[in-house]
Amino acid sequence: MLLASETAAASGWFLAHAWLIPVIPAVAFFLIIFFGKRLPRGGSEIGIAAMLASLVIASGTAYQWIHLVGSTEHADAVSKTVTWFEIGSLKVGIGSRIDGLAMMLLFLVAFISTLVQIYSTEYVRGDRRYTHFFASLTLFSAGMLTMVLAPNMVQLILGWEIMGLCSFMLIGHWWEERANSEAALKAFWTVRVGDMGLLVGTGVLLALFGNLDISEINTKAAEFSGNHALLAFAAVALFIACIGKSGQFPLHTWLPDAMAGPTPVSSLLHSSTMVVAGVFLVARLYPVFHTGLDINIVGHHFNLIAIIGGITVLIAAGLAFVQNDIKKVLAYSTVSQLGYMMMGLGVGAWMPAVFHIFTHAFFKCCLFLCAGSVAHTGSHHSFDMKKDMGGLRKKMPITFGTWMISTAALCGVPFFSGFFSKDEIIDSAKGNDYKVFFVVGLIGAFMTTAYMTRATYLTFFGKARGGAAHFVGEHEDHSHEEAHDEGHDKADAHGHDDHHAPVVHGKPLSFAPDDSPWQITVPLMILGALALVAGYLNAAPFKIEKFHEWLHSSIGVEVPEAPKFEWLNAVPSILLVAAGFAVSLLICKAVFGEGNSPLKGLTQRNALLGAGHKFLVNKYYLDTLYEKVIVRSIAHPISAAAYWTNQHILDGIVNGVGKGGKKTGELVYKYIDQGLVDGVVNGSGTTATHAGGALQPVQSGKVNLYGALLFGAAAVGALVLVLVNS
């Protein structure tokens, strides 16, 4: 095969061999599948080794890229591809295309995958499909890395769909239970609905630019002068795919359900890496969206991406308030944060949005792993915050500490990583004249703090309940009042993680003897540390712009300069965070605390609040709309109608022709069969032979009918021949 382009050769070994990064896990996947079961550790060693190898190469790549950026004025993407297939003028390559964005995600995915795999060795120990679990995780990493490296749309779609497949396999990992397989199917279908847009959008891009190469598409889209409506169509279509993949409104409903999968899966796929694929796609093809959807045009205060992102921020944050399942709180939080990223891209704040991908990955992954740690060790494999948690902070100091750091980062507390990314998004919205989204961002920040405070309070403070009480050593205390929001999901209460043995296997770290084993706590500490410091790569308050320096060549279009950071501008958001914390804490104390507060049971007493609560608990009735109305109507009446048409009308015609008697409609059928034919039969007095059934008269004389059919066809054929020839 020919080397299509080889700009990489001069730039360094790692940049030239970046294709190894996804290939190693892909090979590892097959090794695990075929040999994993025979290995002492069930294949997990292959997975971890492969991810470590990938991480090393990814780090090397990142280093060399940074070096390259430092050494040249304007660093172009380094690509190295071989021809994958060729149809006429359309040449599609496969290989690697490294630029800042890709470099960042490569490192991120390899890094987090490694940690999560280490974590999983303990978390799913003894699982009956331990090997499959690691195989799927490894394949997922391969898929994601393939997508990130994609030099063209086809490879991107390849990686994109492999991730979808792995998501399906991992959510449905415990497929014996119906709820899990339902969640897996829902995830796959919902994402697939979005993928429609990806396929169509790619088609439009091909028609517009005659090529599927990402660099070329971006260059041409940046200086686009053709049919703007078509480009807008492409952008919308592609954005639909992003909506599906990144859990944006209105296709976000699959993501919380996806928590049915094991916790490491939730932390890897459904919070830190896979779900940002949609955001990544928007960032990757930013010129297409930028031009197609009129981002940063003076006087435009809205655009599709920002609107969807903004709505997502708010509705998901709203939903996070009523969840009892700790993972669902985090899931909605993820959706909300993804909304921030989209909104950031929508308001032209490319760099902060991408930076938010980076920081969010660490702290959200850490939060999920903390939740897993709590469930694994503290709450007897339950994720129900109200029933089985509470008061765990003393017993699980590492988990608690990392959780707190990550929460602070998520909330955007100053000097934690989230602050530097999220606050930048909010600031840019204001700076780029998207006032509405500035407000949305602020409200979102408030809500984030509030629901995270609630979750933290319920999990780590207060009195230990249920499984946690058992663990903490207190007697189970049923005297505490049932919480005011009674509408917890049935599915939340059970169905997760109760498949492996309830004993803690691994060895805990010596300084925290009751906490989870080291395989769990070490990744937690690493991630917690990063949640604290990752933000300083691009900390505007301190004039650090490393991230910007490394990544800015990936934007592809001119975006407005980020507004100059001023502490004064950050004051509103900081104040709102503080307010969120305070208000939420007060309410939590009142509602979940020991005392007798008038707030308890408020939703039962106040009709309006009750209705609002119910609305939230039912997830705005979106699931009902999808499952009960849309899916069911397709699955039942519509398909049944189509099938009925097939069997009765189309087949009816066929049989009608074939049998000579059965005509299209029932009426005609009855008339001829019962009236005419039977009449003749009755008349001739031989009813007995034909009494067998209504169809008897038509079925008889088959041989003759074939003769009739044959001669008839011949006659018609001859007629056509005559007509054609005359």
**Shortest distance in whole angstroms from residue 659 CB to other proteins:** 10
CA atoms of 235 and 249, how far apart (whole Å): 17
Instruction: State the minimum distance, in angstroms, from the CB of residue 216 to other proteins.
Output: 16
Q: Which two tokens stand for residue 73?
A: 């004025």
**Within the chain, how many helices (H) and strands (E) appear?**
36, 3
Assess contact for 247 and 332: CB atoms under 8 A: no
For the bound state, the minimum distance from the C-beta of residue 87 to other proteins, rounded and expressed in Å, comes to: 5
* Closest C-alpha among 347, 352, 255, 260 to residue 295: 347
Residue with Cβ nearer other proteins (33 or 222): 33
Minimum distance, C-beta of residue 244 to other proteins, in the bound complex (Å): 10
DSSP secondary structure string for all residues of 566-632: -HHHHHHHHHHHHHHHHHHHHHHHHHHSSS--TTTTHHHH-HHHHHHHHHHHTGGGHHIIIIIIIIH
- Joined tokens for residue 156: 């991107």
Minimum distance from residue 664 beta carbon to other proteins (Å): 13
Kind plus residue range of the DSSP H or E element containing 98: strand 90-98
Residue 723 CB, nearest approach to other proteins (Å) = 7
Dist. CA 344–CA 282, nearest whole Å: 11
Q: Find the Cα–Cα–Cα–Cα dihedral 386, 389, 394, 400, rounded to 10°.
A: -90
d(CA 364, CA 135): 23
Question: Is residue 250 reached through a cis peptide bond, with omega within 30 degrees of 0 on the bond before it?
Answer: yes
For other proteins, which is the closer residue by CB, 10 or 654? 654
**For other proteins, the closer CB: 203 or 414:** 203
Question: Between residues 501 and 638, which has the closer beta carbon with respect to other proteins?
Answer: 638
Measured from the CB atom, is 195 or 424 closer to other proteins? 195
Q: Please, which residue, 184 or 322, has the CB nearer to other proteins?
A: 184
Nearer to other proteins, 169 or 616 (CB): 169
In the complex, minimum distance from the CB of residue 211 to other proteins, in angstroms, rounded to a whole number: 12
**In terms of CB distance, is 10 or 207 closer to other proteins?**
207
What's the Cα-to-Cα distance from 451 to each of 43, 459, 557, 571, 587, rounded to whole Å? 39, 12, 37, 21, 11
Question: What residue type is 436 in one-letter code?
Answer: V
Distance CA 208, CA 153 (A): 14
Residue closer to other proteins by CB (options 88, 598) is: 88
Closest distance of CB 4 from other proteins, Å: 13
Q: How far apart are CA 407 and CA 387, in angstroms?
A: 22
Judged by CB, which is closer to other proteins: 598, or 685? 685
At its nearest, how many Å lie between other proteins and the CB of residue 640?
A: 5
Adjacent-strand bridge partners of 81 = 5, 95
Distance CA 227, CA 225 (A): 7
Q: Is 21 exposed, middle or buried (0-12, 13-18, 19+ CB in 10 A)?
A: buried
Please report how close the Cβ of residue 146 comes to other proteins at its closest, in angstroms. Answer: 9
What is the rounded radius of gyration, in angstroms, for the C-alpha atoms of the chain? 30
Which residues touch 129 (CB under 8 Å, ≥6 apart)?
173
Secondary structure (3-state) at 353: helix
Residue 235: CB minimum distance to other proteins, A: 15
Closest approach, Cβ 255 to other proteins, in A, equals 18
Q: Is 253 or 379 the residue whose CB approaches other proteins more closely? A: 253
Minimum distance of other proteins from residue 457's CB (angstroms): 38
Helix or strand run (H / E) with residue 83: strand 78-87
Considering the complex, state which of residue 177 and residue 474 has its C-beta at the smaller distance from other proteins.
177
Residue (208 or 365) nearer to other proteins, CB: 208
For the record, the structure tokens of 389 come out as 């948690």
Q: What is the dihedral of CA 473, 476, 480, 482, to 10 degrees?
A: 120
Q: How far apart are CA 438 and CA 716, in angstroms?
A: 73
Cα–Cα distance between 463 and 376 in angstroms, integer?
Answer: 19
